[in-house]
Amino acid sequence: MNLTTETVDGKTVLRLGEPRLDAHNSGELKDFMLRLLEGGGRHLIVDLSPVSFIDSSGLGALLSGQKNAALRSGAFMLAGLQPRVHAMFELTRLHRVFEIYSTVEEALRGE
Amino acid sequence: MPGETDVNVDIVVPNQTRYLGLIGNIAEQIARELVDYRGDRDTLGYHMNLVLTEAMVNAIEHATPGETGKTVRVWIHIEDEELCIRVYDQGQGFDLESVPMPDFDAPGEHGRGIFFIRALMDTVTYRRTENGNVLEMRKKLA
């Protein structure tokens, strides 16, 4: 899976460089986020803007990231959700569970 | 004599998650070609992609442990403005009726696959076949 990270103002921006987040690659994302948090990252922003498709496994991986960040008193944010991806968060009510921002820039500002 | 917009697609792939994208993309392409569909074809395509992905994952997860060389068969049929998708597995099967709704107040990492299928399709059934099981999902397109 194409995953890249960038540190901005002490915050880690994780960018998913693939259009699908599904049962085939969600395990890799979950492990990668855990390693970032175990490595000392305390503020994780996941940039989902390239993702045009997410399934239940992808949502589960993001919930795992959020849970692991919370266990370390860290912050976990999602940014750049495409409308049809956002609709899946709404259908499963997970839009109430995650901190979701329109863009990475807004997430960095916490607005 | 099949109608001009009838669709009948039958695909068999190994029961591995690497084929989810391939099947999902075929479903989206089929939806884009439904010129008579009055709804949003891209949204329909996403929904077909999603229910197929979830059904295939389900088929892969319920395969008999340790047995290799198994396949998943996907059948997509559109006729008389009704979509019918069947996903055949060669596994042990499961009880569809006993699958609970997700807990929206205490969300867990798992347990949304069948919920998505039920939410996006009109009827869902799961039954045994001669050499496995079939999950059938139907939706009116009119």
CATH value at residue B50: 3.30.565.10
CA closest to B118 among chain A residues: A91
Contact indicator for B91, B63 with CB cutoff of 8 Å: yes
B46 CB neighbour count, 10 Å cutoff: 25
Q: What's the rounded Cα separation, in Å, for the pair A96 and A75?
A: 16
Angstrom distances, CA of residue B123 to CA of A73, A88, B111, B137: 43, 20, 19, 6
Domain that holds residue A43: 3-109
Q: What's the rounded Cα separation, in Å, for the pair A45 and A107?
A: 7
CA closest to B56 among chain A residues: A23
- B2 in a structural domain: no
Residue B115 distance to chain A (closest CA, Å): 9
Q: Report yes or no: B54 at the A interface, CB cutoff 8 Å.
A: yes
Residue A26 distance to chain B (closest CA, Å): 11
What is the pLDDT tens value at each position of chain B, 142 positions in all? 455 668 999 999 999 999 999 999 999 999 999 988 999 999 999 999 999 999 999 999 887 677 778 899 999 999 999 999 999 998 888 899 999 999 998 899 999 999 999 999 999 999 999 989 999 999 999 8
Domain that holds residue B13: 7-140
Q: What is the CATH number of the domain that holds A77?
A: 3.30.750.24
At a CB cut-off of 8 Å and minimum separation 6, what does B5 contact?
A: B34, B35, B36, B78
Q: What's the rounded Cα separation, in Å, for the pair A66 and A40?
A: 15
Q: Across the interface, do B109 and A97 touch by the CB < 8 Å criterion?
A: no
pLDDT of amino acid B5: 65
Residue A74 distance to chain B (closest CA, Å): 19
DSSP structure string for A5-38 = EEEETTEEEEEE-SSEESTTTHHHHHHHHHHHHH
DSSP secondary structure code for residue B63 in this structure: S
- B53 in a structural domain: yes
Q: Across the interface, do A91 and B107 touch by the CB < 8 Å criterion?
A: no
pLDDT beneath 70: ranges in chain A: 111
Phi, psi (5° rounding) for residue B16?
-130, 145
pLDDT of amino acid A66: 97
Angstrom distances, CA of residue A47 to CA of A29, A60, A82, B25: 12, 16, 11, 23
CA closest to A93 among chain B residues: B104
SS3 for B76? strand
Q: Across the interface, do B20 and A93 touch by the CB < 8 Å criterion?
A: no
pLDDT of amino acid A19: 97
Q: Across the interface, do A84 and B43 touch by the CB < 8 Å criterion?
A: yes
Domains held by chain A: number? 1
| CA atoms within 13 A of residue A71's CA, in its CB half-sphere | 10
Q: What's the rounded Cα separation, in Å, for the pair A80 and B128?
A: 42
Structure token digits, residue A82: 């495409």
Domains held by chain B: number? 1
